[in-house]
Chain A
Amino acid sequence: MAIGLHKSEFKNPVIRWVDARLPVFTMVQKEYGTFPTPRNFNYFWNFGALALVNLLIMMATGIFLAMNYTAHTGLAFDSVERIMRDVNYGWLLRYAHANGASMFFIVVYIHIFRNLYYGSYKAPRELLFMLGVVIFLLMMATAFMGYVLPWGQMSFWGATVITNLFSAIPFVGESIVTWLWGGFSVDNPTLNRFYSLHYLMPFLILGVVFLHVATLHITGSNNPLGIDPKGPQDTVPFHPYYTAKDSVGLVVYFIVFAVLVFFFPNVLGHADNYIPANPLVTPPHIVPEWYFLPFYAILRAVPDKLGGVVLMFGSIAILFVLPWLDTSPVRSMRFRPLARPFFIVWCVAFLVLLYVGGKPPEEPFVTIARVCTAYYFLYFLVILPLLGRLERPLPLPESIARPVLRGGGPLPAGAMSKPMEKA
């Protein structure tokens, strides 16, 4: 890049002066104004933007909650109750933050579903996808530590159980757990460091989100057809088309969020967390927050301590190699008659795991969890690699514009292309 002032195209002299020295206006115009985006997005493509909005809501409510929270085992529970009862609108901030976490996972799960269904993880978007998995992992760590802060019974015993996962590591497990705790049980040092990290990690997430979006703007977005735009007739500028479409989704998102916060603020939480933490009594039935239940079910499905921990972390780690496990060159499940039903069954298995993860560890739930866990891994490790060889995909459309305009639109010469060949 040449040294010297940026040649700004903005007319306003102040904007032009800044833009020539720091071309942020040009960048925003390029990345969010004229950015060419496939013209055939459906509403599943709202969820990336919704996730970003959700992250910002979490950070804003969290910063204001932190002004009234006390990270000390003797004071934490009461400081949260003070937020609920005495701080002006404290109840709103806390309910928005707690339900915002649930909304965040709903949004991100749909975002991931969209990705898997339309094959967005495939080349050239592998790194984009892997950064997304990193965000998901950071989100899980942040949510877990946030749930510990109110220092209720579920906070304490959730923290105890999850940190004890690391004791499954051979030889050094016990030392690692002691290190995580800063003592010999979950106690004040643990609460303090969790608070510190819970405040830090959203900013890390924001950094990885920036990389995630930067990567997206190199490859461009996938689309429901899973074929690449072949020219301007296949795309529309991001603004106003997708700013408007995202706004519609945002309104629906806020309605769902508001219904949760104002009418069912505790429906996704657990009543036991309104009992102050007691290190001497474990609640009869402890469960993590609902968004961890599928992975909790995988953990409990394995009758071996280390094996369960490995499978639980493996269920997410496997996503890092998904772009190479799925050998089919066809992205969208719309054109994969065999992969589609297998994937739908995988989604059902995920939801069943979510359900049984919240049930006590007894029959028939244990067997159901084992079957679903087996299918979860089978889908990635066996079915997808094989389908790439065995499946005969449906013919792909010639272009994005073709089906959208139902063959009616005149296409510039040269924009036409041959049907994508099957590898």
Chain B
Amino acid sequence: MADSMAQPAPQDGETRRDFLQLVAGSFAAVGVGAIAWPFISSMNPARDTLAVSTTDIDLKPIAAGSAITVVWRGKPVFVRNRTEEEVKAARSVPLSELQDPQPDQARVKKDQWLVVIGICTHLGCIPLGQKPTDQRGPFGGWFCPCHGSAYDTSGRIRQGPAPTNLAVPSYAFTSDTQIRIG
């Protein structure tokens, strides 16, 4: 029975069986991929997780020179009401002195309000500097206690192992005293 099914291979070396194996193999590969995708996709953020990815903040209670920490997507966001001296300090630094050159104007929407994600860009610790009693480091912004990265009053990295400035989340002023992050 088996012998009668085997066909002699044609001269050019391509057989019907080669074709069938290729077609069946590709079909199986596409099928496995199509089945695997829902499993992989199910581990991405679910719709309810995406739905809570905006946070509204009222800026009125934040006095000049102080800051608050809010949670956005499970991460701390620093919102700081900077004094005029702090703004001036951030803007007087020549860009050539910065490790990750970025003008202060490009990092804020209104001069006094600085909004940054409060996660050190080195290895994910939360820098000190939010509370008045915290150590703010040599540049008056934030200081990361884990590995000694120091940020200035614009949240830019000035000293230490962190490679980049504190990230600025996407946000918008919904009124003069309200912002929405996300």
Beta-carbon contact of A82 and B42 below 8 Å: no
List the one stretch of A60-68, A113-121, A384-392 in contact with chain B.
Answer: A60-68
Q: Does A89 reach chain B (CB closer than 8 Å)?
A: yes
Q: Does B13 reach chain A (CB closer than 8 Å)?
A: no
Beta-carbon contact of A88 and B41 below 8 Å: yes
Beta-carbon contact of A88 and B2 below 8 Å: no
Beta-carbon contact of B48 and A88 below 8 Å: no
Q: Does A87 reach chain B (CB closer than 8 Å)?
A: yes
CA distance A236 to B5 in the complex (A): 14
Give residues 47-88 of B contacting A (CB, 8 Å): 47-49
Beta-carbon contact of A86 and B42 below 8 Å: no
Beta-carbon contact of B38 and A82 below 8 Å: no
Contact of A87 (CB < 8 Å), options: B1, B2, B37, B46: B46
Beta-carbon contact of B39 and A60 below 8 Å: yes
Contact of B38 (CB < 8 Å), options: A67, A68, A88, A236: A88
Give residues 12-65 of B contacting A (CB, 8 Å): 37-39, 41-44, 46-49
Q: Does A92 reach chain B (CB closer than 8 Å)?
A: yes
Whole-angstrom distance between the Cβ of B15 and the nearest chain A Cβ: 15
CA distance A229 to B50 in the complex (A): 62
Residues of B contacting A68 in the complex (Cβ-Cβ under 8 angstroms): 42, 46
Whole-angstrom distance between the Cβ of B32 and the nearest chain A Cβ: 12
B interface, over-half SS: helix
CA distance A236 to B65 in the complex (A): 85
Whole-angstrom distance between the Cβ of A339 and the nearest chain B Cβ: 32
Interface size, chain A (Cβ < 8 Å): 15
Residues of A contacting B49 in the complex (Cβ-Cβ under 8 angstroms): 86
Residues of A contacting B38 in the complex (Cβ-Cβ under 8 angstroms): 88-89, 92-93
User: Per-residue CB proximity of A293-330 to B under 8 Å, as 1/0?
Assistant: 00000000000000000000000000000000000000
CA distance A89 to B36 in the complex (A): 11
Residues of B contacting A92 in the complex (Cβ-Cβ under 8 angstroms): 38
Q: Does A90 reach chain B (CB closer than 8 Å)?
A: yes
Contact of A90 (CB < 8 Å), options: B1, B2, B46: B46
Contact of B48 (CB < 8 Å), options: A82, A89, A405: A82
Closest A-chain residue to B37, C-beta based? A89
Whole-angstrom distance between the Cβ of A58 and the nearest chain B Cβ: 13
CA distance A86 to B48 in the complex (A): 6
Whole-angstrom distance between the Cβ of B116 and the nearest chain A Cβ: 30
Beta-carbon contact of B39 and A93 below 8 Å: yes
Q: Quick one: which of B44, B47, B49 has the most chain A CB within 10 A?
A: B47
CA distance A144 to B38 in the complex (A): 26
CA distance A305 to B34 in the complex (A): 50
CA distance A89 to B39 in the complex (A): 8
Residues of A contacting B1 in the complex (Cβ-Cβ under 8 angstroms): 405
Residues of A contacting B39 in the complex (Cβ-Cβ under 8 angstroms): 60, 64, 89, 93
User: Per-residue CB proximity of A44-65 to B under 8 Å, as 1/0?
Assistant: 0000000000000000100010
Q: Does A422 reach chain B (CB closer than 8 Å)?
A: no
Q: Does A85 reach chain B (CB closer than 8 Å)?
A: yes
Whole-angstrom distance between the Cβ of A411 and the nearest chain B Cβ: 13
Contact of A85 (CB < 8 Å), options: B2, B41, B47: B47
Residues of B contacting A86 in the complex (Cβ-Cβ under 8 angstroms): 46-49
Residues of B contacting A85 in the complex (Cβ-Cβ under 8 angstroms): 47
Closest A-chain residue to B38, C-beta based? A89
Residues of B contacting A236 in the complex (Cβ-Cβ under 8 angstroms): 2
Contact of A82 (CB < 8 Å), options: B41, B43, B44, B46: B46
CA distance A60 to B40 in the complex (A): 11
Whole-angstrom distance between the Cβ of B44 and the nearest chain A Cβ: 6
Residues of B contacting A87 in the complex (Cβ-Cβ under 8 angstroms): 42, 46-47
5 contacts between A and B (CB under 8 A): A68-B42, A86-B47, A86-B49, A88-B46, A236-B2
Residues of B bordering A, CB below 8 Å? 1-2, 37-39, 41-44, 46-49
Using A87-B46, A93-B38 as known contacts, list a sample of 5 further A-B pairs with CB atoms less than 8 Å apart, ordered by residue number in A: A60-B39, A87-B42, A88-B38, A88-B42, A236-B2
Counting from the closest, the 6 A-B pairs by CB-CB distance are A89-B38, A86-B48, A86-B47, A86-B46, A88-B41, A87-B46
